[in-house]
Structure 1
Amino acid sequence: MDALPGTTRTADRSARPLWTLGLFRSELATTFRRRRTLALLGVLAAVPVLIGFAVRAETAGGGSVGDGGGQGPAFFTQITHNGLFLVFAALAATLPVFLPMAVGVVAGDAIAGEASSGTLRYLLVAPAGRTRLLLVKYATAVAFCLAATLAVAVSALLAGAALFPVGEVTTISGTRISFGQGLFRALLIAVLVAVSLTGLAALGLFVSTLTGSGVAAMAATVGLVVTAQILDAVPQLDALHPYLFPHYWLSFADVLREPVLWDDILRNLGLQGVYAAVFGSAAWARFTSKDITA
């Protein structure tokens, strides 16, 4: 018996890679047009500006950042000498809390948000397929990781250049590199920070498949971030620390050494890959066997 013409066209369309690309573009547009997403990016971009003005105000009278003895948070004491350090300081300040919370909101809402709004069944009626839809949702979350990190980095670069002098960069090792090399390392650090959040994105996507409430999924994902950060700060649990996804997040500082120390950076990338594989597979197993009722 011949297949229905419409069925054949639908199957052919769903098998085309361009259909997946079109679905990805549509998901990107939907995600980045949401007011919530724009608000998150706006808040992230505002953090470096606030840090820059705070440092400028504190050092306006010739004082130093910190307690008056030049001791401040990592990178902060160098901002007044080179505005490029505002990029490193802003990423170090936002990575423990602001960036992962923003990613947790977007990833946690990926599937659960569609279910709570009643659009998930509609998406699955289209020739997307559960596996393809899940991959597109994860790819969009990863794209947000990069967009959020770049929002911080670009805002910090512009604020740093406007408020402080820029020039040669003094590395943590005490050597000096050109501004161009420093700018390249800042870009590399931004990419590393974005990749550092991909494990969390997979974890949030898995949580999102467990519930039909977008708010609950977002809250649970953010709660896991906070819990992991607390566990990573408890000295008695040092044997557990290397397996927690935030443990190597600040390893990007080693990019500012001469030569660059790659050991912890590679450990971080490997750990994020493991989290992405494990929780991505768990999300796939849950989503493909889940009874969609909304």
Structure 2
Amino acid sequence: MEDRSTSPRRPGPLWSPALFRSELAVTFRRWRTLALLIVLAGIPLLVGIAVRIETGDGGTAGGGRGGEGPAFIGQITNNGLFLVFTALAATLPFFLPMAVGVVAGDSIAGEAATGTLRYLLVAPAGRTRLLLAKFTAVLAFCLAATLTVAVSALAVGALLFPVGEVTLLSGTTVSFEEGLLRALAIAVVVAASLAGLAALGLFVSTLTNSGVAAMATTVGLLITVQILGAIPQLEVLHPYLFPHHWMSFADLLRDPVYWEGLLDNLLLQGLYTAVFGSAAWARFTSRDITV
């Protein structure tokens, strides 16, 4: 008869649905996460009300400022669906990535700060499985945050402005239903655009036992990269910065769709995810957890 006590333990599967559900529940039950989603949902409301007030006397959105303002803002008065695209364009440079940076930065360091990380590792979860579950929970937040902005903008746009057929950037007119499908596709692309930042935040979170420090560092890196991307003298670096292709989602509003920018964006996010995801794994699996 085989002696089970001396037989080697087989490693469990890397993916654990139960662990992922647990991490998902922990992420979305935090008051900080709920507060971030509420703030994100309020931004389209503010933009919609501002456009409504500005155009209430027959003016044009952005017209008084020489057309300045978020992309697509001039089309909102003709079709409220464009508030979805405007809100995503307005929140993507800072508000959405800041929210992702906070959640990603707190994912590991927050558990270490409260002393729960050690108890999680006592359970037969394994560090690799736990890290994977936390990363996928952060990606789920990326999608939830993006959809929060999109759904809020759709509701506000339908309430304050007319909706109907959508005239794309290429001049082609499509049905409202196809416009909704394109809006959903854009929301998914925007969420995927935040994957590189999520991996970066996860890596930073493995470097410290302070959730506040990890969140601040991740958001600080985001701001630094945004500043670097705005300096013309550093143009040679711009294609390698993770926000460089973020606004390429607008190419989904063309007929035919311009795929080059979209694919470049997804490839760049995949590269950042691979590099910083691997760095997070290397750090977390070799880290001495004392708290």
Q: Which TM-score applies when normalising by structure 2? A: 0.95
CA positional deviation for 1:17:
7.1
Which residues of structure 1 form unaligned runs of 5+?
none
**Which AA in structure 2 matches 1:210?**
L
Which residues of structure 2 form unaligned runs of 5+?
none
How far, CA to CA, are the matches of 1:16 and 1:253 in structure 2? 39
2:259 maps to 1:262: yes
**Which AA in structure 2 matches 1:155?**
S
Retained in 1: the 8 A contact 2:51–2:61?
yes
CA positional deviation for 1:67:
3.9
Question: What do residues 2-46 of structure 1 show as CA deviations (whole Å, max 9, x unaligned)?
Answer: 4459x99xx68x72678x110110110111011110110010011
1:54 to 50, 59, 64: 50
Structure 2 vs 1, CA of residues 229 and 17 (structure 1 numbering), >3 Å: closer, same or farther? closer
Number of residue equivalences: 289
2:118 maps to 1:121: yes
**Corresponding position of 1:105:** 102
**Corresponding position of 2:59:** 63
**Corresponding position of 2:242:** 245
**Corresponding position of 2:156:** 159
Retained in 2: the 8 A contact 1:113–1:213?
yes
Retained in 2: the 8 A contact 1:207–1:221?
yes
**Corresponding position of 2:289:** 292
**Which AA in structure 2 matches 1:273?**
G
CA positional deviation for 1:69:
7.1
Structure 2 vs 1, CA of residues 218 and 21 (structure 1 numbering), >3 Å: closer, same or farther? same
How far, CA to CA, are the matches of 1:69 and 1:102 in structure 2? 29
How far, CA to CA, are the matches of 1:234 and 1:173 in structure 2? 30
**Which AA in structure 2 matches 1:186?**
A
Retained in 2: the 8 A contact 1:101–1:222?
yes
How far, CA to CA, are the matches of 2:282 and 2:4 in structure 1? 30
**Higher mean C-alpha deviation, range 144-153 or range 62-71:** 62-71
2:32 maps to 1:32: no
2:35 maps to 1:22: no
Shift >2 Å, 4+ stretches: 1-5, 14-18, 67-70
CA RMSD, 1 decimal: 1.8
How far, CA to CA, are the matches of 2:131 and 2:215 in structure 1? 17
2:269 to 268, 272, 276: 272
Retained in 1: the 8 A contact 2:14–2:129?
no
How far, CA to CA, are the matches of 2:51 and 2:137 in structure 1? 35
**Corresponding position of 1:94:** 91
% of aligned pairs identical? Answer: 70
Retained in 2: the 8 A contact 1:248–1:268?
yes
Q: Which TM-score applies when normalising by structure 1? A: 0.94
Structure 2 vs 1, CA of residues 17 and 198 (structure 1 numbering), >3 Å: closer, same or farther? closer
